Amino acid sequence: MQHPGPWASPWPRVAAFVAALLLPPFGPALAASTTAPAAAPAPLAASAPNASAPTGAGQRIYERIRPQLLQVRTLLKTQDSQSSVGSGFLVDEAGHLVTNYHVVSQYALQPARHRLVYATVDGQQGALQLLAFDVVNDLALLKPVDPAPLAGRGSVALRPASEPLPRGARIYSMGNPLDVGFAVAEGSYNGPVERSFLETLFFGGSLSGGMSGGPALDEQGRLVGVNVAARRDGEQVSFLVPSAPVRVLIERGRGATPITTPAWAAVTKQLLAHEARLTERFIGQPWRNAGHPRYTIPVPQETFLRCWGRGSPQAVRGLQFERSDCEMDNRIFVNGALLTGFLTVRHEAYDGSKLGALRFAERYSSSFRNEFMGRDDRQRTAPRCVERQVRSGPAGAPGTDQAEPLPLKAVICLRAYKKLEGLHDLSVLVATLDGSVQGVQGRLDAYGVSAASAQRLAQHYLDGYAWNAPKNASR
């Protein structure tokens, strides 16, 4: 493969490198669907009341909270077919209720095609209006069109921030799992999830689909968090949105005008604020060194990413490698086809001494070419990529083969979001070019970032590559 010559002064030109990808055209937001007539919601069968007085804590809390529990449905506007089902709970006497954003996302983004309805444990039902949402923390605030059926039911109190819950305390998650009936899932509070960019609570209990948006309560029936997700590769590993952003959303949205047009602009604004915080924090952390004897390879701190490594067995003939994969656990749900707002970093260090220079070069180049950068789809444009040779880091020890900055081949790609104007997916692919039988290939992916943040992240990643000077090298 032929490569263009290295830049004489590479670092000031990374801005132009990324800017070259921002030329028009990028797809404009699509027009909203036309409105359609509404149809009446289908009734939900009420659960039978308890025949005996509650004795256990879960029974006691459920009987107290059941008037404030709701099922939240998104229906197609022209029929009663459900397109999503979740749970919710009342937060004040006026009938305002909280659920997850992902429960009502179809309505938020396509209100002309969908409508929102609620159903209570005792069979009351009615239409809902969306007042506000927090896409980053996956929360939404709603109110009934007619508040009368929900009047006098009380509300779920929020546990005060001044009373932190001890790890191991029993908590009780409530909702309507799999649309089979309202239920209580008892489990333990295990504190905030470690190495998470967004504060998320670890619930040691089982959450199922349909419980999203329901409340998780302490033994006094106060809100600890909102059901949001569960891991399917483990047992009793579920997650809650803490009560702090719930409190903020209620205060912000209680007096808001109902949302009746597609909310892409509001989603974009919230995602831009998130990506700016994420970029600033990520760039503010120094890279860790991978410990390679020849190269300094940028590996992120594990403050809000998790890194896993693997390698080929030493006895294997042919190309040997060591690999590191670092990812954020947090993903921001925009719609059923789009998760964004996170970073991944990985690299592979190759040793081809058992192959020889020619076979190593072929395998090494093939690995680089096989990287997938995405394609045009309903959410994002096709990637626009620029490839260059650059030199990174300071020169190595004089008189060695490291006497110049480390030569790299770099490919930077951007994909624009079609309905989230100003947001992009960034991919930076790097390969060292100096070794005849060894080398490193690395990749940074940032999902849902501005052009300015993409430029800074690309520069930060390229700056992380350098020679790993020998211990006896002159300083």
Domain ranges of the chain: 11-25+267-467, 57-261
Q: Is the dihedral of CA 170, 173, 178, 180 positive or negative?
A: positive
**How many angstroms separate the first and last alpha carbons of the chain?**
36
Phi, psi for residue 156 in degrees, rounded to 5: -85, 125
User: Which residue bears the tokens 């028009």?
Assistant: 24
Note the pLDDT tens digit of each residue in 99-149: 999 999 999 999 999 999 999 999 999 999 999 999 999 999 999 999 999
What average pLDDT does the segment 78-98 reach?
92
Q: Please tell me the predicted confidence (pLDDT) of residue 18.
A: 55
Note the pLDDT tens digit of each residue in 167-183: 999 999 999 999 899 99
Strand 342-351 and strand 438-449: pairing? antiparallel
What average pLDDT does the segment 81-105 reach?
95
Q: Please tell me the predicted confidence (pLDDT) of residue 47.
A: 36
Q: Of 23-27, 92-96, 103-107, 168-172, give the lowest mean pLDDT range.
A: 23-27
What average pLDDT does the segment 294-323 reach?
88
Bridge-partner residues for 149, per DSSP?
none
CB 296 within 8 A of CB 347: no
What average pLDDT does the segment 445-453 reach?
98
Q: Of 222-236, 338-352, 418-432, give the lowest mean pLDDT range.
A: 222-236
Q: Please tell me the predicted confidence (pLDDT) of residue 247.
A: 97
CA 182 → CA 38, 92, 101, distances in Å? 27, 21, 20
Q: Is the dihedral of CA 454, 458, 459, 460 positive or negative?
A: positive
Q: How far is it, in rounded angstroms, from Cα 340 to Cα 379?
A: 11
Q: Please tell me the predicted confidence (pLDDT) of residue 471.
A: 44
The CATH number that domain 57-261 falls under is 2.40.10.120
pLDDT band for position 233 (cuts 50, 70, 90): confident
Q: Among 198, 197, 338, 328, which residue's Cα sits nearest to residue 268?
A: 338
Residue 289 has pLDDT above 90, yes or no: no
Residue 38 has pLDDT above 60, yes or no: no
Q: Please tell me the predicted confidence (pLDDT) of residue 307.
A: 96
Residue 258 has pLDDT above 50, yes or no: yes
Residue 87 has pLDDT above 80, yes or no: yes
As a whole number of Å, the CA-based R_g of the chain is: 27
pTM of the model: 0.86
DSSP-assigned letters across all residues of 276-343: HHHHHHHHTSPPEE---SSEE-EE--SSS-EEEEEE--TT--S-EEEEEEEE-S--EEEETTEEESEE
If one compares 156 and 51, the residue with the highest pLDDT of the two is 156
CB 182 within 8 A of CB 175: yes
Q: Please tell me the predicted confidence (pLDDT) of residue 223.
A: 97
Q: Please tell me the predicted confidence (pLDDT) of residue 75.
A: 96
